[in-house]
Amino acid sequence: MSEEGGCGDFQLTEISEATFPNVLIFLREHFFPNEPCAKALDLCPHGYTQVPEDGDQGSQEIGEDDKEKIKCLGNPVKLEKLYKFFDDLTMNYGKSSIFEELNVKEVLDIFILCTSDEMSGRGVGTALVKESLDVAKRQKLPLVTCMALSAFSNRICVKLDFKKLFSVDYGSYTQDGTTLFEANKMKPHTEGVLLYKLIQQV
């Protein structure tokens, strides 16, 4: 979903194939600079692009100068560390999963929740989560999940009666004995939380 705004109001529209390139630009401008984990790891610094080359499956363009493109084979190390954090959060360090804990076979997952800076605080995020709940109900899915990495997305979900399943404290989280996130850089965000809401079907 995306937001279209003007004069203090907005409407939700579904992302189409034609608008997908603009969505990527939108995320680059508004999501990655503000998402706590990506920001703390400097995962997407200014000028970064990730464009697969035709016929070059294992390569990604990560920058460009006047003479040649700079390529990276495979995922950047920081991205792999972030993926590991996602796994630890969503699977409780390999102990379980939401499917096992709640005895379900399918879910609707809110993967990215993002609004533009000028629309912040106008209820767009809440509207997007509510729409996700409606979509799950229409598709007869048993529950909706959200990996809330910011205090703001967590607050929205709690307000809409989502329940916490797993959480990881940023300040104490380590990989290979090394702290991944600096707590002072993460403020006001203190933890990543996996939340869920059961959908009551009529």
- Tell me: the pLDDT tens digits for 169-191? 999 999 999 999 988 888 899 99
- Kindly report, residue by residue over 122-148, the tens digit of the pLDDT: 788 899 999 999 999 999 999 999 999
- Among 10-14, 36-40, 193-197, the minimum mean pLDDT is found in 10-14
Instruction: Give the residue-averaged pLDDT of 6-16.
Output: 65
What's the confidence (pLDDT) of residue 58?
A: 46
Nearest to 131 by CA among 155, 149, 151, 113: 113
End-to-end Cα separation, the chain, in angstroms: 25
Token code pair at residue 6: 């003007």
Domain 2-198 has CATH 3.40.50.1370: no
Q: How high does pLDDT run on average in the chain? A: 80
Is 96 within 8 Å of 192 (Cβ atoms)? Answer: no
pTM: 0.75
Residue 62 has a pLDDT of 42
Give the separation between CA 156 and CA 152, rounded to whole angstroms.
Answer: 6
pLDDT exceeds cutoff 60 at 55: no
| pLDDT for residue 56 is more than 70 | no
In contact, 101 and 164? CB cutoff 8 Å: no
Taking residues 25-46, what's their average pLDDT?
78
pLDDT score recorded for residue 195: 97
Q: Would you list the domain boundaries of the chain? A: 2-198
Q: How far apart are CA 16 and CA 14, in angstroms?
A: 6
